[in-house]
């Protein structure tokens, strides 16, 4: 088993199921998105450029999608905290995934990368 698979499998439910579902949603979004382990967490690259990542917020005890170029977005559901570049979208593992919000932010991020604002 590789390090990436181990990351997902070593999580406890319901967080494990949430992270696996988020991984699948992100990977289905575009064929140019790949998943690797970077800094000990699942990172997703779009055409070789850091795109987003999955992690668990220690304070809030919730999984989240970290949007690498999150500073470009003003959606109220994105949290910046003390990050200068990235914003996160927290997800509650005990509720249905907010698919509309996830799809919106992933598409906006893809549009940003494809617009040339972020060098690929």
Structural domain boundaries in the chain: 3-115
Contact 110, 30 (CB under 8 A): yes
Taking the C-alpha atoms of residue 62 and residue 27, their distance in angstroms, rounded to an integer, is 21
Taking the C-alpha atoms of residue 101 and residue 103, their distance in angstroms, rounded to an integer, is 5
> Architecture of domain 3-115 in CATH?
Alpha-Beta Complex (3.90)
Rg (CA), the chain: 14
Instruction: Measure Cα distances from 99 to 45, 84, 86, 110 in Å.
Output: 20, 26, 20, 16
**How do residues 79-107 score in pLDDT, each as one tens digit?**
998 888 999 999 999 999 999 999 999 99
Nearest by Cα to 15 from 50, 62, 71, 77: 62
CA dihedral defined by 46, 10, 91, 32, rounded to 10 degrees? Answer: 10
pLDDT at 119 over 70: no
**How do residues 63-80 score in pLDDT, each as one tens digit?**
999 999 999 999 999 999
pTM: 0.93
């Amino acid at each position: 088993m590789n390090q990436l698979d181990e990351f997902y499998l070593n999580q406890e439910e319901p967080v494990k199921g949430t992270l696996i579902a988020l991984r699948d949603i992100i990977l289905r979004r575009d064929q140019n998105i790949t998943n690797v382990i970077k800094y000990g967490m699942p990172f997703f690259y779009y055409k070789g450029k850091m795109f987003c990542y999955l992690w668990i917020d220690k304070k809030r005890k919730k999984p989240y999608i970290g949007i690498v170029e999150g500073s470009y977005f003003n959606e109220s559901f994105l949290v910046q905290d003390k990050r200068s570049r990235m914003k996160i979208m927290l997800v509650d593992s005990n509720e249905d995934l907010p698919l509309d919000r996830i799809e919106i932010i992933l598409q906006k991020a893809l549009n940003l990368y494809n617009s040339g604002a972020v060098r690929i």
